[in-house]
Structure 1
Amino acid sequence: MKLVMNWDEWANLDAIGLAEMVRKGQITPREVAQQAALAIDALNPEINAIVEVFDDVINDPMKDGTNLDGVFAGVPYLMKDLGPTLKGRLQEMGSLLMRGNRSTADSFLTKRIRQAGLNIIGRTTTPEYGLCSSAENPAVYVTRNPWNLDYTTCGSSAGTAAAVAAGIIPISHATDGGGSIRIPAGVNGNIGLKPSRGVFSLAPHGSDLMGSVSAQGCMSRTIRDTAAFVDSCRGGAPGEFMPYWTPSQPYSELIRRDPGRLRIAVSHEWGDYRAAPEIVAELERAAGFLETLGHHVEWVIPDIDFRAAYEAQTACYIMNFSQVISGLLEKKGLEKPPADLIEPMCIRVWEEGRFASYTQRANMQAVFNDTSRRLGTFFEDWDIILTPTMALPTPKVGTTEYLTISDNPSVYDWFENLWRIFAYTPIANLSGLPGISLPMAELENGLPLGIHALTRQGDDGLLLQLGAQIERALNGEWNRGRRPDVHVASILTTI
């Protein structure tokens, strides 16, 4: 394999830019895939973001059905090892129990991704079943932040976040059940959109009714890449329980013009949770920047019963993940989780949730409904809610209190730790709202900090339109023009 461009050129191209070069005949899909594979070979030993590379589709990008006439024209893409399945490929979900688990068919979204022209060349890391905040179990793998290897990427879309931030590929798959697209995007300096419920299908093994809080999506480094991904991959499969949102025009067109003057409510004091002072200072700076763009900005806290909302979200996680583990155990003929193959907190969650009643689930859904209605009313007066993506600074690798290898005996205390640091993202999941993390701030130690925006259901385009306006105002210089310590442009000079 040989380089088709220098690494600085590679790092400066987004997925749409690479696709344009392919269409002009300047490079081939095979050459693009080979360059991505070289980047993985060089950087993955440091960041441990990619579980497996599919050599066959690097050498033959059309082998698994990639449509080279799609908008992405064969651009390489990595799939998080959780969620949509890939025919004939392993999906091990970050778990020792799932080693060797091979999928028999492409999921509906996988087919849409291939039809969009994305060449799926490998799998990225995730914590066990996507439950905790970081892909960090030494018995499986430890994924590290390319900005500083002493720090976590957060999660659960951990490997995707690190791979995109390090310049290995410009766009990659992610999922979000409580912030798992937006949180690692914020921590790693990427753009992360969690779409509205009713944008990307969970078919055939799930639905928005069953999944309730989970959403599919991507991470990227430019707004236009994310817009093109949503345009190309959105839509429901046959048999959905609800209609899917259909925008009046493609987002790729919408983002070319600025939004009107927006009413932006800024806050960080959400119930029992507060952002650290250094994060509040960055939120204030971001709010001031949006004022200079002509928007009305005011500090306003949404009228939500935050305590009830987080208790309901905790109950949802416990019940949902317990059912996931029970289903996997049943397929393997096991009565209980093997302690040497499933992580301790996952076992405790299973134990806590396996006998949950319909009444408990109905009570949870009643709180979800009340929260959604309150936010719907709030968005009659406001267009955007602006918060930090995280309330506390990025943890260092080995901070076990947030991990499923934690020895915390209390499932509820463990979840409380998560909400304390990830206070602002789960509201979008329980209410079906779109949310986006934009890389426009940084912590005192130099790590990226995402600024998080929410809007009303189905109005994902407004978040992308605002993001595009900010991107233009910054001259495309997200992260203040800085790059991570581990990055293709600085590390791969000798290849």
Structure 2
Amino acid sequence: MPLLMTWDEWANLDAIGLAELVSKGQITSQEVSQQAALAIDALNPKINAIIEVFDDAVSDPVKDGTNPAGIFAGIPYLMKDVGPTLKGRLQEMGSLLMRGNRSTADSFLTERIRQAGLNIIGRTTTPEFGLCSSAENPEVYVTRNPWNLDYTTCGSSAGTAAAVAAGIIPISHATDGGGSIRIPAGVNGNIGLKPSRGVFSIAPYGSDLMSVVSAQGCHSRTIRDTAAFVDNCRGGAPGEFMPYWFPPQPYSELIRRDPERLRIAVSHEWGDYRSTPHIVAELERAASFLEALGHHVEWIIPDIDFHAAYKAQTECYIMNFTQTISGLLDQKGLEKPPAGLIEPMCIRVWEEGRSYSYTQRAKMQAVFNDTSRRLASFFGDWDIILTPTMGLPTPLVGTKEYLTISDNLSVYEWFENLWGIFSYTPIANLCGLPGISLPMAELENGLPLGIHALTRQGDDGLLLQLGAQIERALNGKWNHGRRPAVHVTAI
């Protein structure tokens, strides 16, 4: 099959750029999907990011209901293998237990994605049920970082992160329950926005009231792609419990102008957790860069009870994943998780969570409420909280302490270990805040390091507006203009 364009041309086009060519009739959505499939064939054996390609959707981009008149004009898109469902397609959630599980209907967000013109051509990898930090169970798959195959992509949006970073596609689906959009975006050099609670629906299988901390979103390589995705896929399904945010103007318009002078609070000393000296130095450089753009920058730590917040977050994870696993067991008529089909830490989480009471849930939610109020008060004086996306360097593949195949017998120690490296992202989930990871920095070994920004609930556009200002100042050269070792331009 001849190439539609050179791989250099391909890598220099974002999703909107490809869609504009399709809309002008210069290329077809089928040709774009076919070139994406060629990229998968060439690179996926190295990074193991895509579980399955839907050949019928590649051949016929409107087959599953994709709207060719949508903003994305039928260009290809990949769906993380947990969260929104695809009618007639497998959704196996990174678990041996769920092998062969086939969805019977599209989720509401899936319908919105198709209506926006995105052609879903396959599934990307995720750790079991999206619980841990990397898609690394050798019995299922091991997803590798395209910048250096010895390192993890982190997660849980592992395959999406690797696929976008490697240039296979410009935009792909991701989810975030504690940083799972932002962490792999930071590790792989992508843009990752976790939206406010009340932007993307998870109907009909859940709601903001039920899921509390989980959010949907995407990875991209340009701010305008993320803005267009939010603009065109947001909104609640009929019967949502929570209110849904709608800005006074589309983000795609808002990002064309710089934000006013912002008050930016920079920090990394959160409770017991600290970043490494090199990461702190990269944070300092990012803060100085923003100061040079005209913003007021000051080192100040948010006034919240970090110990209580991390404890509540841990309890929320245990309770939520216990319910998730229990629901899947009920579907299969099982009383307990089969040891050979569910990973050890997921079983321990299920066992621990079964003993939790409603009283404990209410106490957890009270901490959520107090933390949210305190941060809202903080945002009365500050517009942005700036931190690193991670506090410690990217782990090597096979670092079991962060994985659900860990042999740690203590659920609580395991979670505390996670917070030690992923210190800064969970607070956004706890409070329903928007957060974004921007590919502005790098680790000592040359791997990307994301810089993380938080703002008040419902003000997602401010993060995108700041990101667009930075993108313009960098002349679009995120990651200092570098590309991963495994990349379409090296095919």
Corresponding residue for residue 210 of structure 1: 210
Deviation by residue 1:63-114 (Cα, 9 ceiling, x = unmatched): 0000000000011000000000000000000000000000000000000000
1:137 aligns with 2:137: yes
d(CA) in 2 for partners of 1:257 and 1:374?
30
SS, match of residue 291 in structure 1: helix
1:372 aligns with 2:361: no
Contact 1:195/1:215 (<8 A) preserved: yes
Deviation by residue 1:241-266 (Cα, 9 ceiling, x = unmatched): 12100100000000000000000000
Deviation by residue 1:346-392 (Cα, 9 ceiling, x = unmatched): 00000000121000100000000000000000000000000000000
Deviation by residue 1:275-307 (Cα, 9 ceiling, x = unmatched): 011100000000000000000000000001000
Look up the equivalent residue of 2:462 and give its one-letter code.
L
> How do 1:230-309 residues align onto structure 2 when only pairs under 5 Å count?
230-309=230-309
Corresponding residue for residue 179 of structure 2: 179
Look up the equivalent residue of 1:444 and give its one-letter code.
E
Corresponding residue for residue 488 of structure 1: 488
d(CA) in 1 for partners of 2:320 and 2:2?
46
d(CA) in 2 for partners of 1:118 and 1:185?
20
Corresponding residue for residue 25 of structure 1: 25
d(CA) in 2 for partners of 1:136 and 1:488?
23
Deviation by residue 1:162-198 (Cα, 9 ceiling, x = unmatched): 0000000000000000000000000000000000000
Corresponding residue for residue 120 of structure 1: 120
d(CA) in 2 for partners of 1:244 and 1:403?
34
Look up the equivalent residue of 1:304 and give its one-letter code.
I
Corresponding residue for residue 45 of structure 1: 45
Q: What is the root-mean-square deviation in Å for CA atoms of aligned residues? A: 0.4
> How do 1:4-19 residues align onto structure 2 when only pairs under 5 Å count?
4-19=4-19
d(CA) in 2 for partners of 1:333 and 1:112?
33
SS, match of residue 264 in structure 1: strand
Contact 1:36/1:168 (<8 A) preserved: yes
d(CA) in 1 for partners of 2:446 and 2:12?
21
Corresponding residue for residue 168 of structure 1: 168
Contact 1:109/1:202 (<8 A) preserved: yes
User: 1:2: Cα distance to partner?
Assistant: 2.4
Look up the equivalent residue of 2:135 and give its one-letter code.
A
**TM-score normalised by L of structure 2:** 1.00
Look up the equivalent residue of 2:376 and give its one-letter code.
G
SS, match of residue 167 in structure 2: coil
Look up the equivalent residue of 2:458 and give its one-letter code.
G
d(CA) in 2 for partners of 1:233 and 1:304?
33
SS, match of residue 450 in structure 1: strand
d(CA) in 2 for partners of 1:323 and 1:303?
32
Look up the equivalent residue of 1:473 and give its one-letter code.
A
d(CA) in 2 for partners of 1:227 and 1:36?
22
Deviation by residue 1:17-75 (Cα, 9 ceiling, x = unmatched): 00000011111000000000000000000000000000001000010000000000011
Look up the equivalent residue of 2:181 and give its one-letter code.
I
SS, match of residue 385 in structure 2: strand
Corresponding residue for residue 476 of structure 1: 476
Corresponding residue for residue 58 of structure 2: 58
d(CA) in 2 for partners of 1:226 and 1:376?
25
Corresponding residue for residue 111 of structure 2: 111
Contact 1:2/1:34 (<8 A) preserved: no
d(CA) in 2 for partners of 1:173 and 1:32?
18
Look up the equivalent residue of 1:22 and give its one-letter code.
V
Corresponding residue for residue 324 of structure 1: 324
* Structure 1 residue runs of 4 or more that deviate by more than 3 Å after TM superposition: none
Contact 1:220/1:226 (<8 A) preserved: yes
Corresponding residue for residue 2 of structure 1: 2
Look up the equivalent residue of 1:430 and give its one-letter code.
L
Deviation by residue 1:185-243 (Cα, 9 ceiling, x = unmatched): 00000000000000000100100000100000000000000000000000010001121
Percent identical among aligned pairs is 87
1:401 aligns with 2:401: yes
Corresponding residue for residue 153 of structure 1: 153
Contact 1:194/1:216 (<8 A) preserved: yes
Contact 1:174/1:218 (<8 A) preserved: yes
Look up the equivalent residue of 1:97 and give its one-letter code.
L
Provide structure 1 residue ranges, at least 5 long, that are not aligned to the other structure: none
Look up the equivalent residue of 2:206 and give its one-letter code.
G
SS, match of residue 37 in structure 1: helix
d(CA) in 2 for partners of 1:367 and 1:277?
31
d(CA) in 1 for partners of 2:75 and 2:430?
33
d(CA) in 2 for partners of 1:366 and 1:242?
18
> How do 1:344-493 residues align onto structure 2 when only pairs under 5 Å count?
344-490=344-490, 492=491
Look up the equivalent residue of 1:247 and give its one-letter code.
P
d(CA) in 1 for partners of 2:23 and 2:433?
36
SS, match of residue 297 in structure 2: strand
How many residues are paired up? 491
Look up the equivalent residue of 2:440 and give its one-letter code.
M
d(CA) in 1 for partners of 2:216 and 2:452?
18
SS, match of residue 387 in structure 1: strand
d(CA) in 1 for partners of 2:396 and 2:363?
36
Contact 1:434/1:458 (<8 A) preserved: yes
SS, match of residue 439 in structure 1: strand
d(CA) in 1 for partners of 2:333 and 2:75?
41
Look up the equivalent residue of 2:477 and give its one-letter code.
E
Contact 1:259/1:462 (<8 A) preserved: yes
**TM-score normalised by L of structure 1:** 0.99
Contact 1:145/1:162 (<8 A) preserved: yes
Look up the equivalent residue of 1:103 and give its one-letter code.
S
> How do 1:304-315 residues align onto structure 2 when only pairs under 5 Å count?
304-315=304-315
Corresponding residue for residue 222 of structure 2: 222
Look up the equivalent residue of 1:214 and give its one-letter code.
S
Contact 1:326/1:354 (<8 A) preserved: no
Provide structure 2 residue ranges, at least 5 long, that are not aligned to the other structure: none
SS, match of residue 310 in structure 1: helix
> How do 1:72-111 residues align onto structure 2 when only pairs under 5 Å count?
72-111=72-111
